[in-house]
Amino acid sequence: PVSFSLLGCVCVCTAMASYTLKEVAQREHWMVIHGKVYDVTTFLTDHPGGEEVLVEASGRDASVDFDNVAHSPDAHELMAKYYVGELVDNATGKGSGAKTSGGAKKEGGPSVWIIVVPILIVGVAIALRFYQ
């Protein structure tokens, strides 16, 4: 992680980890959903659909399985807690080009947020500094 201080605010930026499907398959209870890698180990006993569903989906791309179930907005928000990184192509090491449920390629992804969030934080810190 990289941290810096500006006007009394400390901002921390972390790079997103990236994993190949082979690396995901080597981990117990890791899975891929829409190009994002999740470690659901601590969620197994809490999953409303049962532990078996997650165990069966472990080590692979479970996007289709995930989409075939009507997950609530709360379930989608909860996923952030188990997010560990992005899926990359085995051969190139670049993003997997995962498609969204609409079929279009994802654009931006978390890497954009690594830049946007610190800029927004700095902007807010500057604004607060001048308006106090």
2-50 pLDDT per residue, tens: 444 555 555 555 556 899 999 999 999 999 999 999 999 999 999 999 9
pLDDT of residue 104: 40
pLDDT of residue 66: 92
- Paired sense of beta strands 36-39 and 30-33, if any: antiparallel
- With bands split at pLDDT 50, 70 and 90, how would you rate the model's confidence at 129? confident
pLDDT of residue 62: 94
pLDDT of residue 45: 93
